[in-house]
Amino acid sequence: MSSTAMGPSLARSKVVDHRKHFGRGLQPCLPRITTMRLFSEGIYRMSAAVLLLPLLAGADPSLIVESAKPLPELTQLFRHTRGWTGGDCAASIPLSEKRTLWLFADTWIGVVENGRRQKMRMSNNTAAWQSLETHEPLKFFWAGSEEKPEALLKPTQSDHWYWPGDGVMHDGKLYVFCKLVKRNEAGAPAFQFDWVGNELVQIENPYDEPTRWRYQRMRLFRDEDDVRLGCGCVIDGDHLFVFGLFPKKECKKLEAPVAVARVPLAKLDRRQFSDWQFWTESGWSGKPDKLIALMRDGAAEMSIGRVRGISGLVMVYQGLGLGKDILLRHADRPEGPWSAPVKAYRCPEAGKIFAYAARFHPELAKDPGQLIVTYCRNTGSLADHAREPDIYIPQGVEIRLKAQAK
C-alpha cells in the first residue's frame, strides 16, 4: 500500500510502510507502546538538574551553536491527511544522491478530517521515500491496506515486532538496525512490552518499493547480559561502527553508558558476529569485556555522522532518551574521546507532551555547518492522538554550527 503527501519547499520525499502487528489482545494504543519503549530500553525520566550534570563535566566542547530554530517546512512534509498520518523515530538513510529513505516505528494509518485523526489503525513500522532533487510530494508505503495495515519488516516470531532505527547502504544493500519487541502481559498497563533484542536486517533489493523488499536477519543481542547494539551507526574508513547501550545489569539508575563495536564493511553481508569487535580497555577486542563507556547519558536512538565544514564526527541525541534539550557531541574518531555535550536546541513541548528520539539527517543539509534534525513528540493519552494530529508527527529543526578552535 502507498500514498502521497504534498510537501512545500524542502526538496525531499519519503516512503513509508505500515503493518499492523499487535500481540494477542493488544489494543491500538500508540502512547503505551512508546512509553514502554523508553522504559524497557533502560531510559529513565529524570529531573532537569540531573540532566544538566553531564554538561558540566568532560573536555571543552568542540562545537559552537550559532543558531537553532524550528524548521516548519520539514515538519509540514509529515502532515498527511490520508493513509500515513503520524509515526515516530524517523530515521533517514540515503539510498542514492537522488533519494533518501525514511523509516518509522509505531505509525497511525487512517484519515485526518475536521482536525481530528479518525479510523485510527496502527502499524509497528513503515517507510517513506523522499526526493533529494525535486519538491515532489512524499510517497508513503505500508503493507496490507488502510483497513488492515501491516508492518513492512517482520521478525520470524509471530508474537514479536520490529521498531526500525538507524541504518546504512553498502554495496547495493540496505542494513537496518531493528529493536525486537514483544508483549509482556505481566507489566503495568502502560508497560506491557519488553525490548528483548536487536536484529540487523539486511535488505537485498532496497531500490524496490518497500512492500517488495526481500530481507535476511542477524540477531545482535538476546538477553540482559548482552550489549544492546544498534542505537546508532556510522561508516568510517573500511568499518561500520555501531553504537549501543551497556548490558542492563551494568547500568545504574539514571545512567545509559554507551559502547561501540565495529565490523569490516567487506564482511558485513556475512552476518557473522565473530567478525565484530568491541572497544574495550585493551583496545579492539572480539569479546565485550571491560567495555569503555563513551558517555553515560546515551539514548536508545542516536545519530552519528559528518557535518559539512566541520572535521570529525557529530553525535545528536537527547540525554537518556527524554528531556527538552537536543544535545551534540564531537569526536575525531567513532571510539572517541567524545566531547562534553553541547545544548543545541530546547524543544518547546510542555505539559503532557514530551519530546524524544532526536536524529539528524546529513543528506538534507545544503550549507556548511548546517544540521537538519528531527525529534518526536508524544503523550500518554490515546484521546490526545485523535484530538491533536500534530502530536505524533516528526518535528523539524535547523541547527547551524561553526567549528571551535582547538
How does pLDDT run across 319-331, given as a tens digit for each residue? 987 789 999 999 9
CA R_g for the chain:
19
Please tell me the predicted confidence (pLDDT) of residue 46. 36
**Domains of the chain with CATH codes:** 2-21+28-403 (2.115.10)
Comparing 45 with 241, the larger pLDDT belongs to 241
Q: Contact, 163 vs 176, CB < 8 A?
A: no
How far is the C-alpha of 211 from the C-alpha of 225, rounded, in Å? 35
**Cis, bond preceding 264 (omega within 30 deg of 0):** no
Mean pLDDT calculated for residue range 373-377 = 97
Half-sphere exposure of 328 (CA within 13 A, CB side): 30
- Mean pLDDT value across residues 171-189: 87
Could you identify the residue written with the cell 556548511?
368
**Whole-number mean pLDDT of the chain?**
85
Is pLDDT of 221 > 90?
A: no
Would you say 151 and 143 are in contact if contact means Cβ atoms under 8 Å apart?
yes
CA distance 119 to 239: 45
Query: What is the rounded (10 degree) CA torsion for 349, 6, 115, 385?
Result: -50
Contact 82, 6 (CB under 8 A): no
Residue 289: its H or E element: none
The string of pLDDT tens digits covering residues 116-136 is 999 999 999 999 999 999 988
pLDDT in tens, 225-276: 788 999 999 999 999 999 999 987 788 777 899 999 999 999 999 999 999 9
Rounded to 5 degrees, φ, ψ at 31 are -60, -35
- What 3-state DSSP class applies to 369? coil
pLDDT at site 248:
78
pLDDT, position 48? 34
pLDDT (0 to 100) of residue 16: 32
Confidence (pLDDT) at 405: 53
CB burial of residue 274 (10 Å; 0-12, 13-18, 19+): exposed
CA end-to-end span of the chain: 51
Q: How confident is the model at residue 224 (pLDDT cuts 50, 70, 90)?
A: low
Q: Residue 80's CB: how many other CB atoms inside 10 A?
A: 26
Mean pLDDT value across residues 153-160: 95
Is residue 107 scored above 90 in pLDDT? Answer: yes
pLDDT score at 253: 78
20-34, 38-52, 55-69: range with highest mean pLDDT: 55-69
Which contacts qualify for 336-339: CB closer than 8 Å, 24 or more apart?
A: 336/292, 336/294, 337/59, 337/294, 338/294, 338/295, 339/58, 339/59, 339/60, 339/61, 339/62, 339/63
With 0-12 / 13-18 / 19 or more C-beta atoms within 10 angstroms meaning exposed / middle / buried, residue 126 is: buried
* pLDDT at residue 40 is higher than 70: no
Average pLDDT over residues 338-366: 95
How confident is the model over 91-95, as a mean pLDDT? 98
With a cut of 70, say whether residue 9 has pLDDT above it: no
Q: In this predicted structure, what is the pLDDT of residue 195?
A: 81
Residue 45 has pLDDT above 50, yes or no: no
Q: What are the contacts of 212-221 at 24+ separation with CB within 8 A?
A: 213/152, 213/153, 215/153, 216/271, 217/155, 217/156, 218/271, 218/273, 220/177, 220/273, 221/197
